[in-house]
Amino acid sequence: MVLALVGVGACSAEKMPPTIMLRRGAPAPVKRVAILPAECGSTLCKGIDAIVAAELAFRGYDVVDLDRIAALERARTEVQVHDQDASGPTATSTSSRTVTVAGPMLSDVDVWTLRAELAAMGVDGVVRVRTAELEGRPERVEALIRVTRSHDASLVWAALCEVEVSALDMPDENAERAVRCALAGAAR
Amino acid sequence: MRRLTTFASAAALVGCHQAVPHAIVQVPPGDEYAAGAVLVMPTTCVPDGVMPELCAPATLTAGQPAPLVALPASYAAYVDPTLRLKLEFAGYTLAEGAAMRLETGERTDGQTIDGTGASYSSTAITGGQTVADLPPSEVRVVARSLGLGGVITSTFTISPAGFGEIRADLVVTLWDVESSAARWIVRCGERMYGYRETPLRLANCVGNGILAALTPGNLIGEAL
């Protein structure tokens, strides 16, 4: 029985240090980059995008968020409803407000329009963030941050980090840890 | 009791060292590896002599108590993230077919604040057919129009393995856009251990096979 416990313990007790790999492409300056929506399997990605955007902005990149730029003029409709009830001994009032904004953002446009719009904005680089869970014992999570030039898709730099994780941790925590590790690797 | 303890010990140790599938890589002679921008399509599942329901993980737990983590509608949710990560680290720049719209989608963002001060927000995006919805011949046309040199397809096949077991094979192929010929094919397969474990492990296996064959310097020290 002791042997069984030792065996189970050996699966989870000690963690290997993270593995970080960095690749650099041909040297060429990239200044303004667009971050494509992150892809990370079953976990929530929005926070990961924000972490990478903040870090790249800190390092001097001009970061364009496709989800924040309207592709066309958007239509905004605002409805405000006030209810006043004076039938009782004391008058009561309630109000509600609904705002609807309709129209595509840059992330919703067709691929040819997107390409033209990025060129018009002077975007010369594209950033892609990916994380993936690796099945096996011990469990691991891998994150890749890759910057490519937009006009020929050639590599500027890519950083990959593979970290051992605990099955007890939340998937989004593991993904965030791997992304921060890859960012740290890219800073070297 | 002693036999039970021995069995438990063995099971615990085996749990640490599950067999790893091996990748089979085919690169036709004369074709050189070329990194660059390629179109990548979502993984599709093919039932080969088994019930079609096996290709839809979400339906497999119907009528059973809900699992802690809901199974996805398709194995692509397990295979694609790992596979794409490895492909990109091998040097390919991926254009995601399922995310590339052929027409602009309609988005409506809404926010409501009710009488109690509670706030609700919503986003709905409709329309916008993607490249992944097209037949293969039209996919190549789109790839050519975008200056992409290849199309990567991924097929997860489930077939009988005898004695009531099933096996899964993942085959990933890079097709040349101009000639429609396969530039490389990577295959991994194993008996289906689990609806999550096997696709994850096969995706890692194929990804490592691509790295080992095409850019061995980028392979993290793992057995294929």
**A128–B197 CB contact, under 8 Å:** no
In a domain, B194, yes or no: yes
Closest residue, chain A, to B80 (C-alpha)? A41
Pick B193 or B190 by higher pLDDT: B190
Instruction: Return d(Cα A186, Cα B37) in angstroms, integer.
Output: 22
The owner of tokens 């194929």 is B206
Choose the weakest-confidence range: A174-178, B3-7, B175-179, B212-216.
Answer: B3-7
- What pLDDT does residue A26 have? 75
Which range is least confidently modeled, A51-65, B118-132, B140-154, B178-192? B118-132
Distance from the B108 Cα atom to the nearest Cα atom in chain A, whole angstroms = 4
Instruction: Print the domain residue range for A146.
Output: 15-71+104-186
Q: CATH number of the domain that A142 lies in?
A: 3.30.160
Q: Does residue A93 lie in a domain region?
A: no
Rounded Cα distance between A39 and A129, Å, is 7
Asked if residue A162 is part of any domain, the answer here is: yes
Whichever domain contains B88, its CATH number is 3.40.50.10610
Return the axis-axis angle of helices B2-16 and A2-12, rounded to nearest 10°. Answer: 10
Q: Can you list the positions of beta strands (E) in B137-181?
A: 150-162, 165-176
- What mean pLDDT is reported for chain A? 82
Sequence-ordered list of residues with C-beta below 8 angstroms from that of B197, at least 6 positions apart, any chain: A135
- pLDDT for A151 equals 82
> Residue B157 — pLDDT band, cuts 50, 70, 90?
very high
Within an 8 Å CB–CB cutoff, is residue A83 touching chain B?
yes
Q: What does the mean pLDDT of chain B come to? A: 83
Residue A131 in tokens = 């994380």
B111 closest CB neighbour out of A23, A99, A102: A99
A111–B contact, CB cutoff 8 A: yes
B120 in any annotated domain: no
Block residue for tokens 């099955």: A167
The rounded distance, in Å, linking the Cα atoms of B167 and B49 is: 11
pLDDT in tens, A81-91: 888 888 878 88
Note whether residue B111 is domain-resident.
no
Task: Check pLDDT > 90 for residue B154.
Answer: yes
Percent of chain B with pLDDT over 70: 84
> Most confidently modeled of A107-111, B40-44, B100-104?
B40-44
Q: What is the pLDDT of residue B220?
A: 62
Per-residue model confidence (pLDDT) at position B7: 47
Contact A7 B218 (CB under 8 A): no
Residue (of B161, B205, B166, B194) closest to B22 by Cα position: B205
Give a yes or no: residue B161 inside a domain: yes
Cβ distance B193 to B166 under 8 Å? Answer: no
Direct distance between the N- and C-terminal alpha carbons of chain B, in angstroms, rounded to an integer: 38
- CA A109 centroid distance within chain: 19
What is the tally of helices (H) and strands (E) in chain B? 4, 9
Contacts of A159 in chain B (CB under 8 A): none
Closest by Cβ to B109, choosing from A42, A101, A111: A101
- Judged by CB atoms closer than 8 Å, whether chains meet at A144 and B80 is answered as no
Q: Which of residues 185-214 of B touch A (CB under 8 A)?
A: 196-197, 200-201, 203-204
A177 domain-assigned? yes
Give the number of other CB atoms < 10 A from CB of residue B111. Answer: 15
The pLDDT value recorded for residue B14 is 47
Question: Rg of chain A's alpha carbons, rounded to an integer?
Answer: 24
The answer to whether the beta carbons of residues A37 and B99 sit under 8 Å apart is: yes
State which amino acid sits at residue A130.
R
For chain A, strand residue ranges (E) read: 19-24, 32-35, 62-65, 75-85, 92-102, 125-134, 140-149, 155-164
Q: Residue A130 is nearest to which of B81, B106, B221, comparing CB atoms?
A: B81
State whether residue B106 sits within 8 Å of chain A by CB. yes
Place of tokens 């303890």: B5
CA distance A186 to chain B (A): 14
Helical (H) or strand (E) element with B187: strand B182-191
CB contact under 8 A, B218 and A21: yes
Cα B86 off chain centre by:
11
Domain count, chain A: 1
Label residue B224 by pLDDT band (50, 70, 90): very low
Residue A143 covered by a domain: yes
- Cis peptide, bond prior to residue A138, ω within 30 of zero: yes
Q: What is the pLDDT of residue B17?
A: 53
Nearest CA in chain A to B15: A137
Count of domains observed in chain B: 1
Average pLDDT on B90-111 reads 87
Locus of tokens 């039938």: A87
Query: Is residue A89 situated within a structural domain?
Result: no
> Region B1-27: what's the mean pLDDT?
61
Q: Is the pLDDT at B161 greater than 90, yes or no?
A: no
**Residues 32..71 of B with a Cβ closer than 8 Å to A: which?**
36-37, 69
Residue B9 inside a domain? The answer is: no
Residues in A closer than 8 angstroms to B20, CB to CB, are 136
Q: Which residues contact A96 (CB under 8 A, 6 or more apart)?
A: A80, A81, B112, B113, B114, B115
Cα separation of B68 and A103, whole Å? 37
- Looking at the partner chain, which of B18, B88, B103 has a beta carbon nearest the beta carbon of A128? B88
Residue B201 lies in a domain: yes
Chain A residue with minimum CA distance to B93: A153
- Which residues share a beta bridge with A62? A32
Domain presence at residue A29: yes
Positions in chain A whose pLDDT score sits under 50: 12
Which carries the bigger pLDDT value, residue B30 or residue B9?
B30
Boundaries of domain holding B146: 20-103+132-218
